[in-house]
Structure 1
Amino acid sequence: MIPDAHISKQDAIAAISEFRAAHKLISALQKQAMDRWSAGEDFAYTDEELANYKAARDHLLRSLERNPFNPTVHWLLANAYGEIDDDTSKLMKYYNSSLELDPNDDDVLVARMGMHMKAGRFGDAQRDLIRLQQLGSSHAGPMAEHLRKAKDNGEPADARESPS
């Protein structure tokens, strides 16, 4: 849950500055990595890219400290914790807080739904799919098909409805 807070103009400006620094680093490392991956290299970040990603995450955390109400910062933090540390607990925490701030962000819903499916939490994935359908998202159809296939793959019963 995101705490209520008063954000000063100075904090808002500082938060945006930190966000922009993070976004610049993330955009550059994604372009670099995508170029390499498109050339058939291993799907992994180099040590330099990981260092830049960690620096970007630090900028995002400082941005969040100054202004906890930017859902994009939460989403990017989720991705950073997932991609850098494979920390699905923090990843889900920040997807959830992003959606708390912007429940209509279909890109974040798709990402969270994918994590629910990966973990076998099909009920949670179904709830995200219903929200995508309510929003009229272009992602709803393809995600419905992904969910159907995930269910058909016979995930173990004990993995299906574990808590989020």
Structure 2
Amino acid sequence: MIPDATISKRDAIAALSEFRAASRLISSIQKQAMNRWSEQELDEAVGYTDDELADYRVARDHLVRSLELNPFNPTVHWLLANASREIDDDSELQFSYYNSSLELDPEDDDVLVARMGMHMEAGRMNDAIKDLAELKRLGSYHAEPMTEHLQKALDGGERGKGVRPL
């Protein structure tokens, strides 16, 4: 739950500065990693190097400072969700940040897709179905491919154990 707060102009500007610093770092890390991953064989493990993870931790620190200054930027919550999983493999914290991001921006279909994927991975198919219904309500271009992924999961072929047809 996002606390009620009054944000000063100075804090809002400082929070944005921290957010931008984190965004630049994350973009750089992802570019490096994507270049390396694209050259890897299909059966090789994909992950971040120790140096990339160190930079990602610095980016996360910027995001945390941004959130402390202004808790109302849903993108900061989303990026912290991703960092929680990528750096610490903390899916519980990741899920919490996705939820707080959606509390601030319930129509962010990219975050809905990410959370829906977490539901599917954890076998929470009823929750995944709810997120899919919201994607459809929003008219998201993600709805069709996520319907296919969920159907495979419900059939037992992708992350699920075969529950029921959509």
Corresponding residue of 2:138 = 135
Aligned to 2:149: 146
Question: Per-residue deviation at 1:3?
Answer: 0.6
Letter in 2 for 1:40: Q
Match in the other structure for 1:22: 22
- The answer to whether 1:6 aligns with 2:6 is yes
Distance 2:83 2:2 in 1: 19
- By how many angstroms is 1:81 displaced? 0.2
Superposed counterparts of 1:58-137, under 5 Å = 58-137=61-140
When normalised by structure 2's length, the TM-score is 0.92
Instruction: State the structure with bigger RCO (CA 8 A, min sep 6), 1 or 2.
Output: 1
How far the C-alpha of 1:117 sits from its partner, in A, is 0.2
Give the deviation of 1:71 after TM superposition.
0.2
Task: Read off the aligned partner of 1:10 and give its amino acid letter.
Answer: R
**Superposition misfits of 4+ residues, deviation over 4 angstroms:** none
**Residue identity in the other structure for 2:98:** Y
Q: Distance in 2 between matches of 1:81 and 1:12?
A: 24
Return the letter of the residue paired with 2:39.
A
Can you give the 5+ residue segments of structure 1 that lack an aligned partner in the other structure?
none
Q: CA separation in 2, counterparts of 1:25 and 1:150? A: 35
- Taking the aligned partners of 1:46 and 1:141, their CA distance within structure 2 comes to 34
Flag structure 2 segments of 5+ consecutive residues without an equivalent.
Answer: none
What are the Cα deviations for residues 81-109 of structure 1, in whole angstroms up to 9, with x where unaligned? 01111100100000000000000000000
Give distance in 2, aligned partners of 1:69 and 1:79: 17
* Deviation per residue, 1:58-93 (Å, 9 max, x gap): 000000000000000000000000111110010000
Deviations 1:7-26 (A, max 9, x none): 00010000000000000000
Q: How many angstroms apart in 2 are the aligned matches of 1:151 and 1:130?
A: 15
Give the aligned partner of residue 38 of structure 2: 38
Structure 2 letter corresponding to 1:86 = D
* Number of equivalenced pairs: 158
Equivalent-residue separation in structure 1 for 2:153 and 2:80 (angstroms):
26
1:8 and 1:25 map into 2 onto residues whose CA distance is 26
- Percentage identity across paired residues of the two chains: 70
